[in-house]
Amino acid sequence: ASIHDQKLVRGNGGELHQTGEGDTEILTTSQGAPVSDDQNTLKIGERGPALIEDFHFREKIFHFDHERIPERVVHARGYGAHGYFETYESLAKYTRADIFQRAGEKTPAFVRFSTVAGAKGSFDLARDVRGFAVKLYTQEGNWDIVGNNIPVFFIQDAIKFPDLVHAVKEEPDRAFPQAQSAHDNFWDFISLTPESMHMIMWIMSDRAIPRSFRFMEGFGVHTFRFLNAKDESTFVKFIWKPKLGLQSVIWNEAVKINGADPDFHRRDLWDAIQAGDFPEWELCVQLFDQEFADSFDFDILDPTKIIPEEIVEPIPVGRLVLDRMPDNFFAETEQVAFMTQNVPPGVDFSNDPLLQGRNFSYLDTQLKRLGGPNFTHIPINAPKCPMHHFQQDGHMAMRNPVGRANYQPNSWGLGPREHPQKGFRSFADAEDGQKVRLRAESFADHYSQARQFFVSQTVTEQKHIAMALTFELSKVETVTIRERMVSHLLNIDEGLGETVAEKLGIKTLPKKADAAIAPRDDLPASDALSIVRN
């Protein structure tokens, strides 16, 4: 019934009741009992006291009281959409993953874009990394590519993640809203973490203030492996390239937009998809073998490094189209659980120490965030392929083993069994070494790729980086931290370091930071970093 057809009845105290007439559904409790009056609690007399016997009132308030779940510890603010992935051609030569066997095959997908630092209610146009998490519901289970719009990361080892996130979020004492990303703790940590310098160049660039989710690239960041039917391994990096190209706003625009419309990015995605203007990305892979890995200037396990696209060309292998918004934000976008360890047979991990740590972290955090071990029973997280296992019980169990057997092997011939050929197999890499807490020396060059990124930018883009650094560091009260940052910048590009120092009013230029490995200056400045110059 439309608003106008609804019959309004005035109650005893002047309150309005809308009653279910004709084919209007009747309001019920969550146990299904029809409700006669949703405006008044059960009382002794018209003026109370209220009765605890009022199960409808108690159930309604109880459920409301428990509406909030913990927000994600990072990437709390996000927006998702449904769509599909379409495979261009068979990649059987490289991987036995079912999703890549047949040209034209469509696989359902769900994508969540996010900022990293801000709380769930923060604004969209913060200077920040954007999460780009893709869930592909393949015939061999869910494959999550939990990426960002920047191809590198701040840290090389997952053990530093809590420190990084603590430093980027609000200080424990003053608790100023975090999304400003300009405060002493963050720059203190960064200036003491030289491995973050490459990422810092990207974060201070226009990439960190995208105009829309539709104009962003996505990167799996780490090196993964493809394994074919013969279990032969090829290293692979994943890149999503937007059909619309790359576009960013400038900082002044970002500040104004945040004030006028903090939901700018989510509104943009909603409007585009509702208008049938479906955003699209191509999945590209950079493929390389052990020989290339051994000869590459940087360690392919180091997540603070890229493999320049001019050296290993990204090959398009399929397209991702987002064509449907969720019916319910909470059920889908909020409850979706991405996990790096969700890979199908034919995709495998590398020893990147950041990836290895993430493979533990996501499952662990979902257990708490989604309230128990059965979050794969929530429709948005449930695989869309046949699933058979003996897991049972726990909070909110929706699916339990049926029949007598809940274990295997069993003599009853009941339930599923393992399959050596079809099942997931890890690459049988030969590992040999001492048990140590050491970082490989091959991870020690912290400046060369930062420099490469900076020099690959147009003059205008370089200016934006210098302005962003000046703006952010001008918010840092501690002079030592400002100077320490400048000492790193001088290693990346002397002109950049000097400009920022001058704008910050630093009279005596600090010494260049000690570098474990001196930055290279013979790297070609090029378009290799896929800078799209709009």
- Contact by Cβ (8 Å): 56, 98: no
Q: How far is the CB of 120 from ligand HEM (least distance, A)?
A: 11
The smaller minimum CB distance to ligand HEM, of residues 78 and 510, is found at 78
Q: Quick check: 153 binds ligand HEM (CB under 6 A)?
A: yes
The smaller minimum CB distance to ligand HEM, of residues 78 and 519, is found at 78
Question: Among 239, 273, 285, 354, which residue sits at the site for ligand HEM (rule: CB under 6 A)?
Answer: 354
Question: Among 95, 142, 148, 457, which residue sits at the site for ligand HEM (rule: CB under 6 A)?
Answer: 148
Contacts of 400 (CB under 8 A, 6+ apart): 392, 393
User: In degrees to the nearest 10, what's the CA dihedral of 337, 61, 33, 379?
Assistant: 0
Q: For residues 27-56, which are near ligand HEM according to CB under 6 A?
A: none
Span near ligand HEM by CB under 6 A; candidates 118-126, 312-320, 355-363, 446-454: 355-363
Q: How far is the CB of 73 from ligand HEM (least distance, A)?
A: 5
Residue 369 known to bind ligand:
yes
Amino acid at 534: N
Radius of gyration of the chain (CA): 27
CA–CA separation, 525 and 453 (whole Å) = 8
* Active-site residue (options: 56, 82, 148, 198): 148
Q: Quick check: 151 binds ligand HEM (CB under 6 A)?
A: no
Q: Quick check: 146 binds ligand HEM (CB under 6 A)?
A: yes
**Structure tokens, 100:** 């890549």
Q: How far is the CB of 390 from ligand HEM (least distance, A)?
A: 26
Q: How far is the CB of 157 from ligand HEM (least distance, A)?
A: 8
Question: What's the number of CA atoms in the CB half-sphere (13 Å) around residue 189?
Answer: 20
Residue 362 known to bind ligand:
yes
Residue 161 known to bind ligand:
yes
Q: How far is the CB of 275 from ligand HEM (least distance, A)?
A: 24
Place of tokens 């274990």: 407
Question: Among 82, 96, 112, 198, which residue sits at the site for ligand HEM (rule: CB under 6 A)?
Answer: 112
CA–CA separation, 165 and 148 (whole Å) = 15
The smaller minimum CB distance to ligand HEM, of residues 305 and 482, is found at 305
Binding-site size, ligand HEM (CB under 6 A):
28
CA–CA separation, 152 and 222 (whole Å) = 8
Contacts of 479 (CB under 8 A, 6+ apart): none
Contacts of 228 (CB under 8 A, 6+ apart): 92, 93, 94, 95, 96, 234, 346
Q: What track of x and - describes contact with ligand HEM for positions 390 through 409 (by CB under 6 A)?
A: --------------------
Q: Quick check: 189 binds ligand HEM (CB under 6 A)?
A: no
Q: At what angle do helices 161-168 and 184-191 cross, to 10 degrees?
A: 150
How far, in Å, are 45, 174, 184, 185, 236 from residue 178 at the CA level?
A: 51, 11, 12, 11, 35
Beta bridge partners of 218: 240
The smaller minimum CB distance to ligand HEM, of residues 326 and 345, is found at 326
Q: For residues 267-326, which are near ligand HEM according to CB under 6 A?
A: 303
DSSP 320-354: EEEEE--S-HIIIIIT----TT---TTEEE---HH
Q: Quick check: 158 binds ligand HEM (CB under 6 A)?
A: yes
Q: How far is the CB of 361 from ligand HEM (least distance, A)?
A: 4
DSSP H/E element including 366: helix 353-369
Q: How far is the CB of 145 from ligand HEM (least distance, A)?
A: 9
Q: Quick check: 367 binds ligand HEM (CB under 6 A)?
A: no
Q: Quick check: 338 binds ligand HEM (CB under 6 A)?
A: yes
- Contact by Cβ (8 Å): 79, 213: yes
185 assigned to active site: no
Coil/strand/helix, residue 288 = strand
Residues marked active site are found at 75, 148
Using CB under 6 A, list all residues that contact ligand HEM.
72-75, 78, 112, 114, 131, 133, 146-148, 153, 158, 161, 221, 303, 336-338, 354, 357-358, 361-362, 365-366, 369
Annotated binding-site ranges for heme: 72, 112, 161, 358, 362, 369
